[in-house]
Amino acid sequence: MVKTANSNSSSPVSTDEAQKQRKKQAKREAKAMLVVEKAKVGVEKAEQKLAKAQTRLEARTARLRTREANLAEIRSSHEVSEVSAPGVGPRNIHAVIGGIDRDFFHCV
């Protein structure tokens, strides 16, 4: 035969179960809060790293622009000196080499 629980005996059992459930829920909530806090710390660290990387990127970009400007200035000053001395420079090297070859073959 199956025993049935009367209303008086089920009340303390259900309150114990309810209390256990509340404890479990509180533990789950506490664990979830810890996970959220760790995630927040991780996000803050990532944001700090991102800010540092952005600062480094901006500094390196500025240095690159400065170096490119210096290179352009050097190239433009080199072109000005080539125009003033057209017989010397990499553009006329083939003509010079060709003249040497012709002189060499005339001597032989």
Letter for the amino acid at 13?
V
To 10 degrees, the CA torsion angle through 7, 13, 16, 21? -90
- In our burial notation (b when 16+ CB lie closer than 10 A, e otherwise), range 67-93 reads eeeeeeeeeeeeeeeeeeeeeeeeeee
What pLDDT sits at residue 49? 98
Longest dimension (CA), the chain: 132
What pLDDT sits at residue 33? 98
Q: Is the pTM of this model over 0.85?
A: no
Can you list the residues of the chain whose pLDDT is less than 70? 1-12, 82-108
- Alpha carbons within 13 angstroms on the beta-carbon side of residue 55 total 6
What pLDDT sits at residue 78? 80
What pLDDT sits at residue 63? 98
